[in-house]
Amino acid sequence: MSNDAKTAVIVGASSGVGRALAGALAAQGWKLVLSARDPRDLEAVAADLTLRWNAECFSLPVDLSNCEYSGAAFCEECVNAFGVIDALFYVAGAIDDHDDGSTDDETTRQLAEVNYVSAIKTLGAFAKRFEQRGRGTLVGFSSIAAAAPRRQNVVYASAKAGLETYLRGLRHRFADTPVLVQGYALGYVDTAMAYGKKLLLPAVSADAVADEVVRNLDRDIGIRYYPAYWRLITLTLRLLPWFIYKRLRF
């Protein structure tokens, strides 16, 4: 492990895309702050990456659904662990099977916290840090549901739309600076969120998403749909007249 290895923070590192991303970065020699709710999952992921890739990992359990969660305090802990942070990946997300837009207050709050409020708290805290340092990469993960909401996952989709808007704004703020702001609107990915659901198109693997993210790390890509064909599909869906859109079951 070289001393000039880059350091990334992955929020939501215990499963799905976050875990795949941790593996892809570890394979390239990055030092990692791994964050998720359950310490046991984090310990397992950290042990695995350390053994497979000799990666230097620091586990930082965090409850993103807690309204008292502080992005600044979290950022501080990450910096304390490794000194310098080069990239933040906010991959965490939450869905609820009963999210039809009229869930109880607590469920709605938790969905909003994890998918939006804690996301922008974290991205905002690291944005400040990266601005002071003069460089860094901020990556957020949205969903195709943000562009084409439907009757299920209503709160989730609206939170992701908010996150996407936030990322666009942040990218504009850091335009022409070395701080990069990237967003991914993910289509179907073979994770717990998609497992067992009837999907219109095949789900891509979390590893494929991770490879795409790592490939684009130094590029000012803005908000990118992955797989790319989802841009066309969501654009088509948005252009559909309401009398057709309302009949769709997707």
Partner 1 sequence: MKTRLTSFDGTESFNAECVRPDRYSRLFAELSSPRLLIPRGAGLTYCAASAGEGVVSIDARSFNRILEFDPATGYVTVEAGITLGDLYRFTVPRGWILPVMPGSPSITVGGCIAPNIHGKNQFKDGNFRAVTDELRLFHPDHGELICSPRESVDLFKLTVGGYGLTGFILSARLKLQRLEHSAFRLRRLKVASLSEAAEMMKELADKVQVLYSWHNLNGSQFGRGFVYAGDPIDSRTNHQELRYQELDAETRGNWKFPLFSRLVTRSSMAAYALNQRWAGEEVTVSLPQAFFPPVGKEFYFKLFGRAGLREYQVLIPHDQWPTAVDQLKQIIVSHSVPITLASLKIFRGRGGLIDFEGDGVCLTLDAPEGQMTRELFAHLDRWTEDVGAIVNISKDSRLQSSFLERIFPEFDSFRQQLATFDPKRRFDSALRMRLDV
Nearest to 183 by CA among 137, 131, 233, 246: 137
Beta carbon of residue 49, minimum distance to partner 1 (angstroms, whole number): 9
Q: How far is Cα 60 from Cα 10, in angstroms, rounded to an integer? A: 10
What crossing angle do the helices spanning 39-53 and 16-27 adopt, rounded to 10°?
30
Q: Which is nearer to partner 1, 37 or 133 (CB)?
A: 37
Q: Which is nearer to partner 1, 198 or 247 (CB)?
A: 198
Rg of the chain in Å (alpha carbons):
18
Q: Give the number of other CB atoms < 10 A from CB of residue 37.
A: 17
Beta carbon of residue 19, minimum distance to partner 1 (angstroms, whole number): 8
Nearest to 59 by CA among 75, 40, 72: 40
Q: Which is nearer to partner 1, 177 or 205 (CB)?
A: 205
Q: How far is Cα 102 from Cα 152, in angstroms, rounded to an integer? A: 11
Beta carbon of residue 68, minimum distance to partner 1 (angstroms, whole number): 21
Beta carbon of residue 194, minimum distance to partner 1 (angstroms, whole number): 10
Q: Which is nearer to partner 1, 110 or 191 (CB)?
A: 191
Beta carbon of residue 38, minimum distance to partner 1 (angstroms, whole number): 5
DSSP reduced 3-state for 21: helix
172 Rama sector, left if φ>0, alpha if ψ -120 to 50, beta otherwise? alpha
Binding residues for partner 1 (CB under 8 A): 14-16, 19, 36-38, 40-41, 44-45, 47-48, 51-52, 191-192, 195-197
Q: Which is nearer to partner 1, 52 or 246 (CB)?
A: 52
